[in-house]
Amino acid sequence: MTTKKDEAINSILSDFEEFANTVLTQLDLLEKFVSSGEVNFPEKHVKEMYSNEKKLDKLEVKISDKIVNTIVLYQPVASEIRKVIACYRIILNLERVGDMVINILNFIHNVKAPEIYDELSDLISNMLISSSSMVNKALLAFTNDDKEYAIWTIKNDSVFSENNKKLLKKAIKKSSGGNEEKQILMSFINMNAVLSNIERIADHATNIAEAAIYSIEGKDIRHKKID
């Protein structure tokens, strides 16, 4: 028989699924935009992304309230508490991923030298695809109680950062202009936050994976090395 506690937890997980799917939609829209190589995204998609961002803000508050009420009113057992606490940790990280998506969109719109963006568009696209994949697998780790997906995400974070540094150096070396243009390119890279925001998405994916392991095993592995 389904109890009120079960209904409350199921309601949290249902809202969580909606929240997660909305974030993944945001990442998918951003991927399509970046892969096009354009600096001006179609207005209807921009409106959709901002609408989704508002939806995420409201859902975060709704889920947080439900989690607090469920713990206070129904006194869930240890395994259930781990599930909802992990859910809460993931929601916080997904909300930040949503913020990063909007940040990246805005930074690209503000690019004043399209030729510089052209030099980096492939790099940015590849980075975004990789970080989005990490978020997706981290979420699957939580929803499917799949520890292997979680470990893959955590281990892939360091590889992701190292590969990005190598790709960045190659992009600069392949710049077709002279030294002056390369200096402009380097300045743009140093100041522009697109790349760092994408890396932060990968960092949040790692946090989600760690929360998934906490839900599965009850172990808090934050700040610990995974062998």
Q: pLDDT value at position 87? A: 95
Q: pLDDT value at position 190? A: 45
Q: pLDDT value at position 77? A: 93
Sign of CA dihedral 46, 48, 49, 51: positive
Helix extents (H) in the chain: 4-36, 43-74, 78-109, 114-143, 147-173, 179-191, 194-217
Domain segments of the chain: what residues? 4-217
For domain 4-217, the CATH class is mainly alpha
Q: What phi and psi values does residue 187 have, to the nearest 5 degrees?
A: -65, -45
Q: pLDDT truncated to tens, each residue of the chain (227 aa)? A: 679 999 999 999 999 999 999 999 999 999 988 888 777 888 899 999 999 999 999 999 999 999 999 999 998 999 999 999 999 999 999 999 999 999 888 888 777 666 667 777 787 888 889 899 999 999 999 999 999 989 988 888 766 666 666 666 665 565 555 555 555 554 455 445 677 888 889 899 999 999 999 999 888 877 566 55
Q: Give the chain's length.
A: 227
Q: pLDDT value at position 191? A: 46
CA 85 – CA 69 distance, rounded (Å)? 13
Residue 47 Cα to chain centre, angstroms: 20
Task: Give the CA-trace dihedral at 89, 143, 15, 48, to 10 degrees.
Answer: 90
Please classify residue 180 by burial: count the beta carbons closer than 10 Å to its beta carbon, then call 0-12 exposed, 13-18 middle and 19+ buried: exposed
The residue among 24, 41, 184 whose CA lies nearest residue 112 is 184
The amino acid present at 201, given as its one-letter code, is I
